[in-house]
Amino acid sequence: MADQPKAGSALDAVQAGPATEAALPARLAPTDLHNPSVDALRARFGAAVLHHEVTAGDQHVVYLEAGRNVEILRWLKEDPTQHYDFLADVTAVDFGGGRPLQVVYQLWSMPHRRALRVKCELPLTALTIDSVQPLWKTADWLEREVYDLFGIEFAGHPDLRRILMPENYAEGHPLRKDFPLRGRFTRAEQTRRALSQDPNDQYIPAELAMGREPQQATPMPAGGPIPTDRSGGATGAGR
């Protein structure tokens, strides 16, 4: 039998879900779990800090105005009292039901040994937010992944294009809640499109600019495959 969490352990907070600081039980809110960045953000940016919650007992999550994301994140990175020098992740969350999509930044301050999660909510009618790639180079591919899978555009990104799906992928964004389980096209249409792909689609523009020739399968002879011996060479009958 799998080990069960001990009664009264910190894992209880995971099952309980997010809670505000005021709602946290005293045993889960010791002074060493206080994140001074939350108070500093409120003092400096006021109403631009929309909401704060604590998840899993000690993960501080701050919701910011999406239109000021670069300004505030730059301060979190460059201010010596904050110094969030490591962007661990950029991702997104879609709860479905017409609710806004969340852009999520997971920050870590090496000097202060402090984590902070920042979220910005975007309405479905305006899925655009400024890129933080100029602040953290890590954001380059991370923002491309969010763009590819959720359809969120990052204004000012130097090379915003798909990174996991083909550039000519026409079915939408696979991690959106409104994306059908088997895709938007029928299996027959998906197969037809796969068989009719241009070989150039498998290469990035830089490779094609270098004169690299796309590899294509050799058509099968009319009489079927050429017989081979055990070493893989053609037999006399097939030569």
Smallest CA-to-CA distance from 101 within 35, 43, 146, 55 is with 146
pLDDT of residue 230: 59
Residue 234 and residue 226 in contact, taking contact as beta carbons nearer than 8 Å: yes
When pLDDT is cut at 50, 70 and 90, the band that residue 235 belongs to is low
How does residue 27 score in pLDDT terms, banded at 50, 70 and 90? very low
Within a domain: 172: no
Residue 6 domain-assigned (yes or no): no
pLDDT exceeds 80 at position 2:
no
- The predicted structure's pLDDT at residue 196: 72
Q: Tell me which range, 136-145, 185-194, 203-212, is most confidently predicted by mean pLDDT.
A: 136-145
* pLDDT value of residue 171: 84
Tokens of 151: 């359809």
Q: Does the residue 103 lie in any domain?
A: yes
- Which residues span the domain enclosing 118? 13-165
Q: Give the CA distances from residue 237 to residues 226, 229, 232, 234, in Å, rounded to whole numbers and listed in that order.
A: 9, 10, 14, 8
More confident residue, 230 or 190: 190
Residue 120 lies in a domain: yes
Q: What is the pLDDT of residues 98-119, one digit of tens each?
A: 999 999 999 999 999 999 999 9
Among 46-55, 171-180, 189-198, name the one with the lowest average pLDDT: 189-198
Q: Any idea what the CATH number is for the domain that residue 59 is in?
A: 3.30.460.80
d(CA 107, CA 118): 8
Compare 24 and 80 and report the one with higher pLDDT. Answer: 80
Does the pLDDT of residue 222 top 90, yes or no? no
Is residue 192 domain-resident?
Answer: no
Q: Provide the token pair at 92.
A: 């997104």
Give me the residue label for tokens 């609710």.
99
Sheet containing 101-109, strands listed edge to edge, beginning at the edge strand earlier in sequence:
49-55, 59-64, 114-122, 101-109, 86-93
Put residue 232 in one of left, alpha, beta given phi > 0 → left and psi -120 to 50 → alpha.
left
Rounded CA separation 191/122 (Å): 35
User: Is residue 73 situated within a structural domain?
Assistant: yes
With beta carbons less than 8 A apart as the criterion, state whether 60 and 36 touch. no
Q: What tokens does 177 get?
A: 């809640």
Q: Is residue 190, in this structure, part of any structural domain at all?
A: no
Q: Which tokens hold the place of 201?
A: 């689609």
Half-sphere exposure of 77 (CA within 13 A, CB side): 19
| In the block, residue with structure tokens 């763009």 | 147
Domains contained in the chain, number: 1
Residue 139: band (very low, low, confident or very high) from pLDDT cuts 50, 70, 90: very high
